[in-house]
Amino acid sequence: MKTAIITGGASGIGFAIAQKFVQQGIQSILIGRDEKKLKEACCTLGELAGCIQGDVTRLEELPSLVSDIKNKYGKIDILVNNAGIHLKKPFLEVTDEEYQRIILTNQVAVFSLTREVSRMMIPEKKGSIINISSMASQYGIPLVIAYTASKSAIEGMTRAMAVELSPLGIRVNCIAPGFIKTDMSSKALSNDPERKKKIYSRTPIGRLGTAEEVADAAWFFASDSSSYITGVVLPVDGGNSIGF
Ligand code: NDP
């Protein structure tokens, strides 16, 4: 049986990915800070789901977190770097601390966790790493300077990781979701009718996406259906990134 780690797997896009993986018979380990939310998610997902309360920004704890998972489940086949936080604020008002908090969660933690998990995957000569970026790295969106920097780094790291890890059997790919209906997007879009209007007007498919539609793409990258694909960024965005 395959084992997957999904950071931020208890809600939104991460939860939909966990649900898809469990349906496909993959043991899915969810990581998040909120223990209650994690337990509820695991209960809903059933016995193929496991949860570990953890904060990905506690970098020093990541090596033992990963080795505990490896010891318990035997191997790690899939890592989905999905946990992320958002900050909507004018560039000129963002403090250094706020900027660093976003970068630490969305970028540095992805670097550290992926390094640790890759070390576990190398002896198996097989693995799939799936990063989650955003439309913020495809074009300029106002009021999200730190988020944009972090997500642009994710796309660059995807390519840099792919060239080093693919010869060792580990594929690394990235999904760039468009505007997907989750708690994060409803917070970012509430009280901002202008932004909402703009999103709809440049999305050829004409609606927000669902977390399940992102999960389908994650399953593609996790499975052998994508066995010759590495280092790519796949927009799942209803055409938002090519809309006029
Ligand atoms: P949610 O806010 O619903 O989920 C984010 C998850 O990340 C939560 O489960 C949260 O759990 C977890 N998380 C946040 N910080 C940490 C941390 N330090 N350690 C461990 N877990 C953490 O957001 P979405 O589902 O919308 O977003 C998922 C990903 O998709 C993010 O990377 C986001 O940037 C990206 N994305 C989303 C889009 C959208 O339209 N929704 C568009 C483009 C990209 P907890 O709080 O319990 O720790």
* DSSP 8-state secondary structure symbol assigned to residue 106: I
By percentage, how much of the chain surpasses pLDDT 90? 95
Neighbours of 151 (CB within 10 A): 24
Neighbours of 7 (CB within 10 A): 24
Q: Which domain holds residue 238?
A: 3-180+210-242
pTM beyond 0.85: the answer is yes
Q: Quote the number of domains for the chain.
A: 1
**Residues 193-224: pLDDT tens digits?**
999 999 999 999 999 999 999 999 999 999 99
Residue 195 lies in a domain: no
If pLDDT is split at 50, 70 and 90, which confidence band does 168 have?
Answer: very high
Residue 147 lies in a domain: yes
**Residues 26-61: pLDDT tens digits?**
999 999 999 999 999 999 999 999 999 999 999 999
**Residues 117-140: pLDDT tens digits?**
999 999 999 999 999 999 999 999
Task: Give me the catalytic one of 73, 139, 147, 228.
Answer: 147
Ligand 1 pocket test: which of 5, 6, 11 has the largest number of ligand atoms within 8 Å of its C-beta? 11
pLDDT, the chain, mean:
97
Place of tokens 């395959």: 2
If pLDDT is split at 50, 70 and 90, which confidence band does 188 have?
Answer: confident
pLDDT of residue 47: 97
183 lines ligand 1 (CB under 6 A): yes
Residue 205 lies in a domain: no
34 lines ligand 1 (CB under 6 A): yes
d(CA 110, CA 147): 14
Residue 18 lies in a domain: yes
- We report the CATH number of the domain holding residue 32 as 3.40.50.720
Residue 153 lies in a domain: yes
Residue 9 lies in a domain: yes
Atom of ligand 1 nearest to the CA of 211: 25
Residue 132 lies in a domain: yes
If pLDDT is split at 50, 70 and 90, which confidence band does 184 have?
Answer: confident
Is 90 exceeded by the pLDDT of residue 190? no
**Beta-sheet strand order (sheet of 78-81):** 49-53, 27-32, 3-7, 78-81, 127-132, 170-177, 233-236
* DSSP 8-state secondary structure symbol assigned to residue 107: I
131 lines ligand 1 (CB under 6 A): no
- Annotate 170-192 with b (16+ C-beta within 10 A) or e (fewer): bbbbbbbbbbbbbebbeebbeee
Residue 192 lies in a domain: no
4 lines ligand 1 (CB under 6 A): no
**73 classed as catalytic:** no
How far apart, in Å, are the Cα atoms of 29 and each of 70, 71, 174, 190, 220? 11, 13, 20, 31, 18
